Amino acid sequence: MRIVFVMFGAAAFVGCTADSQESQIDQREIPVVADVVARVGGQSIGASEVESRMATEEVSAEAALEHLIDEALLIQEAERFGFAEDRDGERSVERLMVRTMLHDLEKNNTPESISEEEVGEAYALHAKKFQVPERRRSWHILVEDQSEVGKALAESILRELQQADDPRTVYDRYSDGGPDGLNLDVKAEDLPAITMQGKFKKAYKIALFAAESEGPLKKAVKTSYGWHAIVVAEILPGNVRTIDDAEEEIRELLSQKKRFAELITIVQGLEAQGLVQYDDQGVERLLSMPGLPERAE
């Protein structure tokens, strides 16, 4: 909720003059806060408040302080417009302002608002992202031993696979640990389709993608897990998604990008006005806590 709350506080304050802010501060009874960490308008936030929020919400110092700042911005703006006379109205005001701002941002930046020209430019700019690389699905019988004894057993299993009318019958025999009398641990596994860039052992991937066709490989493959008797189950050729296939996705991404751009503009406006200031002495108490936001210069 950090980004949403900051945006609403910022958006509301953009239209607020310094005089109106000062008059609101003068009309309120401002409590004395010890160990001030930050000031929002005329309200101070103390280290004890940050620590309490950290405990109740189980968040970092950064998140706790940000939440308190957001709430202070919302409450002050709500009071300026007469939406809430006390803190009991805080949550309902937050919900109202969140819904209103999101509605406006989404209304002005829908996927349908993205032009065909923008879609075409985005497709051309990110053409590589729409290329689907070749994938290969496999299964293997693994001898969990890296010695020559393990290699000999894996090669024996591979010969069984190569000679079998249906290699899956061999898989089934080893799926429960293999025939009686084996002195090594053996397991059979079905593996998902992967690309050459997938997070698999390098030797396994190289052997898998070097195969010219589906079926058992010619040699057993060694990895840090042991020796593998590998079967290429399916080769899924690479292809390129057309602009028609990707259009809906592109429109959604571009509309989201525009919404974020507007939110960033609002945040920059808030920072430029200097509405939030950190107190150096108060911040010292929180410096040992992880995630504290950088202090304003």
Residue 141 pairs in a beta bridge with: 188, 229
pLDDT attached to residue 104: 66
Do residues 43 and 108 touch, judged by C-beta distance below 8 A?
no
Second CATH level (architecture) for the domain 134-237: Roll (3.10)
Determine the Cα angle at 271 with ends 88 and 9, to 5°: 25
Q: What are phi and psi of 122, to 5 degrees?
A: -65, -40
pLDDT attached to residue 274: 60
pLDDT tens, position by position, for the chain (297 residues)? 333 333 334 333 333 333 444 444 344 444 555 578 888 777 788 888 888 888 888 877 877 887 787 777 766 666 665 554 444 555 555 555 555 555 666 677 788 888 899 988 988 888 888 888 999 999 999 999 999 999 999 999 999 999 999 999 999 988 876 777 778 889 999 999 999 988 889 999 999 999 999 999 999 999 999 999 999 999 999 888 888 888 888 888 888 888 777 766 765 665 566 655 666 666 565 555 544 444 444
pLDDT attached to residue 78: 60
pLDDT attached to residue 179: 74
Task: Give CATH 3.10.50.40 domain extents, the chain.
Answer: 134-237
pLDDT attached to residue 26: 42
d(CA 215, CA 234): 9
pLDDT attached to residue 32: 54
Give pTM, 2 decimals: 0.46
